[in-house]
Amino acid sequence: MAALPRRIIKETQRLMQEPVPGISAVPDESNARYFHVIVTGPEDSPFEGGLFKLELFLPEDYPMSAPKVRFITKIYHPNIDRLGRICLDILKDKWSPALQIRTVLLSIQALLSAPNPDDPLANDVAELWKVNEAEAIRNAKEWTQRYAMEDN
């Protein structure tokens, strides 16, 4: 494997030196393209107080293609499915090389504050979110309580 591109090194350095509040991304010891990410649930959201683990992988042609991000912690969210996959446009077709790891993670954090049930990935969740938002939020809180809080 070729050496790590300068951009990744720079990004990693910056992530370490100036971490984004509420987000920590640490590269794996054996693979510098693989990051262990922890995102705190945003305030005023049903995920508040939770610590959500994610994994982030920078593919070979990063930054020309988007990083692969996935939730490891279970989360009740209309745009995140049971496997932790995230429905986020900038991770798909709206990716731009100008985006960075930090911006991606910030976007994900934002996604937690603003679920978009109109573009669902977990259909049942999205359904509930649309039909009975209160219950959905309660579920989300419950899941946060159950999965994102107990082990920290």
Partner 1 sequence: MEQFEQLLTCCVCLDRYRNPKLLPCQHSFCMEPCMDGLTDYVRRQVKCPECRAEHRIPYNGVQGFPTNVTLQRFLELHIEITGDLPDPTSGQVMERCNVCSEKSYCNVCMHCEKKICPDCKSAHMDILRREINRINNQIRRGVHRLHDILSVVEKNTQSLQNNCQSVSEEIDEVYRRLTKAVKDRTDHMRTEMDKYLTSEMKNLSTLKENLELEIANITSNSDLADKYMIESVEWEDCELMDTKEIFLKTVEFMRNFETETSDYSRRVRFSMACDPNQLVNNLCTYGDLHFIHPPSTTQSNALLQPAVSGIMRSKSDHRLATQFRQQQDAYNGDDEPLLGGRKFGERPKPTPEKHTSDSRYGYDADDQHYDSSRTGKNRFRSRFHRGHHEEEDETESRTVKTEKEKDKVTTTEDAAKGPLSGIFRILDSPRAMKRIQEADRGPREKKEPPKPVAPVVTQVKQVQIPTVTPPVRPKTARQQSEDEIERIKRENKTTAPSSSTESPLADRQSILKKTTPTASSIDENEVSQVPISDIEPQQTTTTNTAVTNNSTQKQSPVRSSSESSSTESTSDAGSTGPPSVKPAEIPPIRSRGAGSASTTSNTVSSPPTVTEEKKPFQSRFLQSRTTVTPPKKEETESSSEEESSEESESEEEAPKVKPVVSTPPVVTTPVRSATSGVTLRSNDTTSSSPRSGILKDSTTTENRRSLEESTLPSRSRYEAPTSTYSRTADKENDTSRYGTRTRSTAAYEPPEESRYGTSSGGSELSRSRSTHALKSRENSPDRGGPEENKEALSSWARYLKNKYGSRTSTKDSPREGYSASSSTTTPSASTYSSSAASSSSPSSASSTSASRRLSLGLPLRQANEMHSSDDDSKNLQSSLASPIQQQVVDTEDTNTKYCTPRTQYLQKRRQILQIGGRGSEPGKFTWPRGISANGPENIIAVADSSNHRVQVFDANGVYRFEFGTYGNGDGEFDCLAGVAINRIGQFIIADRYNHRIQVFDPAGRFLRAFGSQGTADGKFNYPWGITTDSMGFIYVTDKENHRIQVFQSDGTFVGKFGSYGSGEGQLEHPHYIAVSNTNRVIVSDSNNHRIQIFDVNGKVLSQIGSEGSQEGEFKFPRGVAVDDSGYISVADSGNNRIQIFSPDGSFLRAFGSWGSGESEFKGLEGVAIMSNGNILVCDRENHRVQIF
Q: Please give the residue ranges that form the binding site for partner 1 (CB under 8 A).
A: 2-3, 6-7, 10-11, 61, 63-64, 94, 96-100
Closer Cβ to partner 1, 11 or 81, answer by number: 11
Q: How far is the CB of 93 from partner 1 (least distance, A)?
A: 10
First CA to last CA distance, the chain = 35
**Residue 57 bridge partners (DSSP):** 34, 68
Q: How far is the CB of 36 from partner 1 (least distance, A)?
A: 22
Closer Cβ to partner 1, 29 or 61, answer by number: 61
Active site residue 87: yes
DSSP code of residue 147: I
SS3 108: helix
Count of other CB atoms within 10 angstroms of residue 73 = 20
Q: How far is the CB of 31 from partner 1 (least distance, A)?
A: 17
Of the residues 15, 87, 104, 126, only one is catalytic, namely 87
Residues 25/35, Cβ–Cβ less than 8 Å: yes
- Taking CA atoms, 87 is separated from 34, 60, 104, 113, 148, in Å, by 20, 22, 12, 14, 20
Closer Cβ to partner 1, 64 or 110, answer by number: 64
Closer Cβ to partner 1, 33 or 53, answer by number: 33
Catalytic residues: 87
